Amino acid sequence: MTVIDAGRILNPLAGRNQIEGAVVMGIGMALLEHTSYDPQSGAPINSNLADYMMAVNADVPPIDVHFVDFPDTEINELGARGIGEIGLAGIAAAITAAVHHATGVRVRELPIKIEHLLTSSVLS
């Protein structure tokens, strides 16, 4: 579940869709997405969509989007704000918090990988 304060929501259907997309990208940010570089040449080594992993449909659970829907008249008389990327902000943090809850390890690097847990002093 994700709760968003984006002022007055003018188009709930499109707004929810925007936030759902951001949550999917947040899952990728937390668990998958990373450009790796060859340590010798500095060249990106996963510069294609087969090796650069992104969240796809199979990685995504049902997403429950809620808007606070409180008009923000400080911004404009309409009370509406842009909701471009705000949906992404808390997702990776929520997932790392869930990993901490499950394992006791605070991962402070994204994406979270198994070696972060295997090399943690908490688990050794």
Partner 1 sequence: MNPFTYSRARDPNQAVADISSKPQTKFLGGGTNLIDLMKMGVEMPAQLIDINRLPLAGVEELPDGKGVRIGALARNSDVAAHDLIKSRYPVLSEAFLSGASPQLRNMATVGGNLLQRTRCYYFYDPAFPQCNKRKPGSGCGALDGFNRIHAILGQSEQCIAVNPSDMCVAMAALDAIVHVRGPKGEHEIKFADFHRLPGNTPERETNLGHDELIIASAL
Residues that bind partner 1 (CB under 8 A): 36-41, 43, 45-47, 50-51, 56
In Å, how far are 6, 32, 68, 118 from 76, measured between CA atoms?
13, 38, 17, 50
Residue 115: which region, alpha, beta or left (left: phi > 0; alpha: psi -120 to 50)?
alpha
Task: Select 36 or 73, whichever has its Cβ closest to partner 1.
Answer: 36
Structure-block tokens of residue 90? 């808390």
CB of 36 to partner 1, least distance (A): 5
CB of 58 to partner 1, least distance (A): 9
Catalytic residue selected from 20, 74, 77, 85: 85
Of 26, 29, 31, 9, the closest CA to residue 83 belongs to 9
Whether 33 is catalytic: no
CB of 123 to partner 1, least distance (A): 20
Task: Select 51 or 64, whichever has its Cβ closest to partner 1.
Answer: 51
- Rounded to whole angstroms, how far apart are CA atoms 84 and 77? 20
Task: Select 45 or 86, whichever has its Cβ closest to partner 1.
Answer: 45
Give catalytic residues, as residue numbers.
85
